[in-house]
Amino acid sequence: MNYDDIKKGMILNFENQLWSVTWCQHHKPGKGGAVMRTKLRNVIKGNILDRVFRGGDTVEQVRVDNREAQFLYKDGTDFIFMDQENYEQYSVAANVIGDAHLYLKEQGMADLKIYQDEVIAAEAPMFVELEIKETDPGLKGDTVSGGSKPATLETGAVVQVPLFVNIGEIVKVDTRDNRYVERVKS
């Protein structure tokens, strides 16, 4: 495919390695031809590459299967998932999971990307509901428009929450940017 067809989330075969597009921007400088600026993450190693594609550059998009799977448990450094269609279990290494592990709790769902019968990436759902395990206590009079404080969630993720939120409450978190959305239950 041409460089201008690159989109965020695609998996590319570039220089005989699999790369996930984490960011891309079409750019037309005042002088010269248009380019596509990208940030690519190596699917296997996890390193990041800044790459600019120019007119005439071609890349190969890799077809991956997306499977919805339930996170069952953690076995040492591996995460065990079960496919919701055929009940097949996948053992996925922590380096493949990446930051998605911060939003996975047992019996929760995730999207697995499978290439040639191997899980190459895992994504947490866009929104998750997690319990607050640690935070400073809220004070009387703290309101929604006030400041924020850090809170540690049941999975170990740390998110900034409003001052009125307390330990034991369930909050909704946007996994794309690790942002508090709302309090679900007290």
Nearest to 66 by CA among 33, 110, 30: 110
Which pLDDT value is given to residue 139?
63
- Check: CB of residue 130 under 8 Å from CB of residue 173: yes
Model confidence band, residue 21 (pLDDT cutoffs 50, 70, 90) = confident
Asked whether residue 142 carries a pLDDT value surpassing 80, the answer given is no
Percent of the chain with pLDDT over 70: 94
Give residue-wise pLDDT tens across range 122-140.
888 889 999 999 988 866 5
Which pLDDT value is given to residue 89?
92
- Give the residue-averaged pLDDT of 9-22: 87
Residue 73 region, left (φ>0) first, then alpha (ψ -120 to 50), else beta?
A: beta
Q: In the beta sheet, which residues pair with residue 151?
A: 135, 159
Q: In the beta sheet, which residues pair with residue 78?
A: 75, 93
The two tokens of residue 114 are 């499978």
* Single pTM value for the model: 0.69
- Give the residue-averaged pLDDT of 36-43: 88
Instruction: Name all domains of the chain by residue range, CATH numbers in brackets.
Output: 3-61 (2.30.30.30), 65-123 (2.40.50.140), 127-185 (2.40.50.140)
Model confidence band, residue 144 (pLDDT cutoffs 50, 70, 90) = low
Distance CA 120, CA 94 (A): 11
Model confidence band, residue 2 (pLDDT cutoffs 50, 70, 90) = confident
Which pLDDT value is given to residue 99?
81
Model confidence band, residue 55 (pLDDT cutoffs 50, 70, 90) = confident
